[in-house]
Structure 1
Amino acid sequence: MVRRILASSRYIMIVPVVGTFLGSLALILYEAVVLYTNAVEAIRDRSFTTKSVKIFAVGIVEAVDVFLIAIAVYIISIGLYSLFVDDKLPLPKWLEVSNLEDLKGNLVSVVIAVLAVLFLREAVAWDGSREIAPFGVALALVIAALTFFLMKNNIRRK
């Protein structure tokens, strides 16, 4: 009886799977609408100056940032589902998750990309009025630490 209850309890993971999937979908749809709205406004304003193009470019970079976060949430959703509910889910090789370490590795890889896009956004929006080098160094240290984490996990698995 207890064994059956514990075996069935894995299906409780459907709650975070559905929640993260819906969160990812909401982020993607919301940011697509924001991107579309910004493009329509840029065309409607007919202000094709260097400054307006730069503002539009920053908006696109910010959209990429949100899309990457949505991808990270989607990877968590798929990973949790394949770990707890159905390990036979057909996935591309890079998305296959056999344990929590794989899921963390996928997530950390996306976080590194998000941090790189975050710096790119700041660099594109930079107007020279403030220092961005300390921000870049801080992000580089975090990215280096996360890369070390990934390398350490890959070495441990071999």
Structure 2
Amino acid sequence: MLRRILASSRYIMIVPVIATFLGSLALILYETVVLFLTALSVVEDRSLSPKSVKIFAVGIVEAVDVFLIAIAVYIISIGLYSLFVDDKLPLPKWLEIDNLEDLKGNLISVVIAVLAVLFLREAVAWDGERNIAAFGGALALVVAALAFFLTKINAHRQ
């Protein structure tokens, strides 16, 4: 009886699967509206000055950043579902998750992309007053640490 209870308890993971899926969907929808409103305000202003174009570019980069975070949350949702509920879920090869290490590897890859977009956003918005080199160096250290961890995960898989 205990065995059957423990085997069935894996379905409790439906709760975080649904929560992360809905969170991902909410981020995507919210940022789509924000991006649309940003584009609409540029059109309404009828200003094509370098400053307005830069503001619009920063808005697009910020949207990409939020979309990447939504993708990371979606990957967590899919990963938890395939690990705990249904391992036969049809997924593209790059998204197949056989164990927790695969899920961590996919997540770390997206986090690295988010950090790169974060730096791009800061570089585009840079006004010459802040120390962007220090910010970039700090991000580079984090990315290097994550890349090192990712190589360890990939070495462990083989």
TM-score by length of 1: 0.99
Q: Which residue of 2 aligns with 1:143?
A: 143
Considering only aligned residues, what root-mean-square deviation do their CA atoms show, in Å? Answer: 0.5
Q: Which residue of 2 aligns with 1:126?
A: 126
Return the alpha-carbon distance in structure 2 between the equivalents of residues 10 and 95 of structure 1.
21
The amino acid of 1:102's aligned partner reads D
The amino acid of 1:155's aligned partner reads A
The amino acid of 2:128's aligned partner reads G
Identity %: 82
Q: Deviations over 1:39-79 (max 9, x none)?
A: 01100110110000000000000000000000000000000
Return the alpha-carbon distance in structure 1 between the equivalents of residues 131 and 3 of structure 2.
59
How many pairs are equivalent? 158
TM-superposed CA distance for 1:157, in Å, is 1.9
Q: Which residue of 2 aligns with 1:89?
A: 89
Unaligned runs of 5+ residues in structure 1 are none
The amino acid of 1:37's aligned partner reads L
Q: Which residue of 2 aligns with 1:16?
A: 16
TM-superposed CA distance for 1:153, in Å, is 1.2
- 1:32-71 matched pairs, under 5 angstroms: 32-71=32-71
Q: After the TM superposition, which parts of structure 1 deviate over 4 Å for at least 4 consecutive aligned residues?
A: none
Secondary structure of the corresponding residue to residue 97 of structure 2: coil
The amino acid of 2:107's aligned partner reads L
Unaligned runs of 5+ residues in structure 2 are none
TM-superposed CA distance for 1:156, in Å, is 1.9
TM-superposed CA distance for 1:129, in Å, is 1.2
Q: Deviations over 1:17-38 (max 9, x none)?
A: 0000000000000000000000
Q: Which residue of 2 aligns with 1:2?
A: 2
